[in-house]
Amino acid sequence: MASGIRDKVAILGMGCSRFGERWDADAEDLIVEAYEEALGDAGIETKQIEAAWLATAIEEQHVGKSGVPLAVALRLPYIPVTRVENYCASGSEAFRGATYAVAAGACDIALALGCEKLKDTGYGGLPQRSRGALNSMYWANVSAPGSFAQLAAAYRAKHGMDAGDLKRAMAHISVKSHDNGSRNPKAHLKNKISMEQVLNAAMVAEPLGLYDCCGVSDGAACAILTTPEIARGLGKSDLISVKALQLAVSNGVEAQHNSWDGSYFATTRIAAKRAYHEAGIAERLLIGLDDEILGVGVPALAEPRAPAAGADRRRAQMLRASDRRLGLADDLRDLSAAPGPRRAAPAAQGSRARAGAQPRRLSPPERLLDRDRGPPRGLALKQREQRASTSPWRGEVGERWNDASREGVIL
Q: Encode pLDDT of 107-133 as tens digits.
A: 999 999 999 887 777 767 776 655 566
Q: Does residue 184 lie in a domain region?
A: yes
Residue type, 406: R
Provide the pairing of β-strand 51-55 with 81-84.
Answer: parallel
Instruction: Say if residue 65 is in the same domain as residue 199.
Output: no
φ, ψ for residue 115 (rounded to 5)? -150, 140
pLDDT given for residue 321 in this prediction? 53
Tell me if the bond preceding 207 is cis, omega within 30° of 0.
yes
Residue 111 · residue 224 · CB < 8 Å? yes
Q: Same structural domain for residues 61 and 164? A: no
Q: Is there a single domain that holds both residue 297 and residue 375?
A: yes
Does residue 33 sit in the same domain as residue 180? no
Residue 68 shares a structural domain with residue 185: no
Tens digits of residue pLDDT in 41-65:
999 999 999 999 999 887 767 777 8
For 272, the domain range is 253-303+310-337+366-404
Residues 267 and 329 in one domain: yes
Q: Are residues 321 and 179 in the same domain?
A: no
Is residue 193 located within the same domain as residue 153? Answer: yes
- Asked if residue 400 and residue 321 are part of one domain, the reply reads yes
pLDDT at position 169: 94
369 burial (CB, 10 Å; 0-12 / 13-18 / 19+) is exposed
Domain membership flag for residue 133:
no
**Three-state SS annotation for 123-169:** CCCCCCCCCCHHHHHHCCCCCHHHHHHHHHHHHHHHCCCCHHHHHHH
Given this model, what pLDDT does residue 42 score?
Answer: 96
Distance CA 284, CA 379 (A): 15
Q: Of 202, 233, 264, at which residue does a domain stop?
A: 233
Is 323 a domain residue?
yes
Is residue 48 situated within a structural domain?
yes
In a domain, 409, yes or no: no
pLDDT in tens, the chain (411 residues): 678 899 999 999 999 999 998 989 998 999 999 999 999 999 999 999 999 999 988 776 777 788 899 999 999 999 999 999 888 888 999 999 999 999 999 999 999 999 988 777 776 777 665 556 666 666 666 778 888 999 999 999 999 999 999 999 999 999 999 999 999 999 999 999 999 999 999 999 999 999 999 888 899 999 999 999 999 999 999 999 999 999 999 888 887 878 889 899 999 999 999 999 899 886 455 333 444 433 333 333 333 334 444 545 554 555 455 445 444 545 454 554 555 554 433 333 333 333 344 433 333 333 333 333 333 334 334 444 444 444 333 333 333 333 333 333 333
Tell me, yes or no, whether 71 lies in a domain: yes
Q: Which of 233, 265, 291 lies at the terminal end of a domain, its last residue?
A: 233
Q: What per-residue confidence (pLDDT) applies to 129?
A: 59
Check residue 365 and give its pLDDT: 34
Query: CATH number of the domain that 57 lies in?
Result: 3.40.47.10
Instruction: Note whether residue 246 is domain-resident.
Output: no
- Domain membership of residue 333 (yes or no) is yes
Assess whether 99 and 50 both reside in one domain.
Answer: yes
SS3 83: strand
Q: Where is the domain boundary, 183, 201, 233?
A: 233
Q: Which of 334, 329, 302, 296 is nearest to 315 (CA)?
A: 302
The total domain count for the chain is 3
Judge if 222 and 88 occupy the same domain.
yes
Provide the residue type at 69 as one letter: P
Q: Do residue 265 and residue 371 come from a single domain?
A: yes
State the Cα–Cα distance between residues 49 and 354, nearest whole angstrom: 50
Whole-angstrom Cα distance, residue 227 to residue 7? 9
